[in-house]
Structure 1
Amino acid sequence: MAKEMSMRQGLCITTLFASCIWLTACVTSPSIGEENIVRLAIKEASVVMKVSGDADGDGDDDVLLIIDRERSDGSRPRGLLIFLRGPDGSLTEALDSPHAILCRACGGMMGDPLESLSAAKGELKLRFEGGSRELWSSEYSFDYMPGNKQWRLVSIVHHGLDRLEGRSVERRQDLSRADTVFLERFDPADYPADAIP
């Protein structure tokens, strides 16, 4: 009887150990981990755009998501999520910027203004376009600052084109290190592409 109980305990311990190894493999597997991260991130939201790129400049591909969040009042604010990839391939949420993406209707007659999102070597770029007679585009560039683990706005480029007159304008603003506009609290509506003067 004692021998049979000890065999059962041994079998239970072996099964428990094997289950732990299997669960650890699932959690640390980059592909399964990435799917789970995305699933958690879009709870009560939908993915508008998913981009891979080196957002923090460490040489591996991180994951950037632009999402629509569903609100009970019917509004659908869009935000930016960044997940950094660790040495083991796992992803960790590094940024949730709830106002970084213009709304679907903010492009005027041109519709959704979201044109592109890219990340490479610690630099991140957001581009929006819109207008009707006067077309506009705005590109916002951010650099990753490893010291405080944030992305800082470093430049803004606005383009304008009057389609009727054929007149175009480009304005570029480079921000100094003293300007600490971080992506986490960034809102492109604070830096609009003004109409052509």
Structure 2
Amino acid sequence: MEAGRDEVKDSAQAFVPAGAKPLETIKGDLNGDGIEDALLVIDPPAPGNLAAGENGPDRIVMLVLGGADGKWHLAARNNKLVPCSNCGGVMGDPFGYARVSSGSFTVVNSGGSRERWTDSYTFRYAPADKAWWLEGVSRQVIDTETDAENKKDFTAAELGKVRFEDFDPSSVPAVTLP
């Protein structure tokens, strides 16, 4: 069991570490059990020793399950899925949005300047494993001056069987303009 997965709290927001800022809280049924859960995107505090122009830490994405006991339980977390607040280039903060469907969720990031990129990551819950597995990644890049575009959808079959908490976006091939 991953460290911290047995944490139990009275509210989903109680999982936000001290000094961190919640960017997004999306409620929905993450594991298909009919009980409301929450996906949290959290901006951790930047270390005090960052020089101007240096990137801060990537965001934390937590999956917090509502229990039949009325308590919230940390199920999984990923510290690499959403880049830091200034990692989106000229476009600014790269975190776009998240959405939850019954038993699955998607996180979308985007950024760039002349070449704008968008990455969409989808995970699906597997009840037998009590885990969320990577279902697919969509990567797109568009040149804003020429309208040249390249998009590639990667399936779980292409990327391998990867748990949400182990997923690193840098493991997915980059999509570039021809």
The bucket for the TM-score relative to the shorter chain is 0.7 to 0.9
User: Paired residue for 1:24?
Assistant: none
Counterpart CA distance in 1 for 2:127 and 2:85 is 32
User: Paired residue for 1:29?
Assistant: none
Whether 1:126 and 2:107 are equivalent positions in the alignment is yes
Counterpart CA distance in 2 for 1:100 and 1:171 is 18
User: Paired residue for 2:34?
Assistant: 59
Structure (1 or 2) with the greater helix fraction: 1
CA contact (8 A) 1:159 1:193 kept: no
Change (3 A) 1:127 1:192: farther
Counterpart CA distance in 2 for 1:172 and 1:76 is 27
Counterpart CA distance in 1 for 2:38 and 2:153 is 28
* Greater mean deviation of Cα atoms: 176-185 or 132-141: 176-185
Deviation readout 1:144-196 (Å, 9 max, x if unpaired): 11122111111111122111111222211111299221110222233264331
Unaligned runs of 5+ in 2: 1-8, 51-55
**1:87 counterpart SS class:** coil
1:40 deviates by 4.2
1:88 deviates by 3.5
Task: Return the TM-score normalized by structure 1.
Answer: 0.75
Question: In structure 2, which of residues 137, 143, 146 is the aligned counterpart of residue 162 of structure 1?
Answer: 143
**1:60 counterpart SS class:** coil
Counterpart CA distance in 2 for 1:78 and 1:39 is 17
1:89 deviates by 3.0
Change (3 A) 1:101 1:40: same
Question: In structure 1, which of residues 25, 41, 64 is the aligned counterpart of residue 16 of structure 2?
Answer: 41
Unaligned runs of 5+ in 1: 1-31
Give me the CA root mean square deviation: 2.2
The amino acid of 1:137's aligned partner reads T
Task: Return the TM-score normalized by structure 2.
Answer: 0.82
Change (3 A) 1:102 1:77: closer
Question: In structure 2, which of residues 97, 101, 112 is the aligned counterpart of residue 116 of structure 1?
Answer: 97
Q: 1 or 2 for the larger relative contact order (CA 8 Å, sep ≥6)?
A: 2
Counterpart CA distance in 2 for 1:186 and 1:92 is 21
Deviation readout 1:117-142 (Å, 9 max, x if unpaired): 11111111010111111111111111
- What is the identity percentage for the equivalent residue pairs of Structure 1 and Structure 2? 29
CA contact (8 A) 1:66 1:80 kept: yes
Counterpart CA distance in 2 for 1:164 and 1:133 is 7
Aligned residues: 164
The amino acid of 1:41's aligned partner reads V
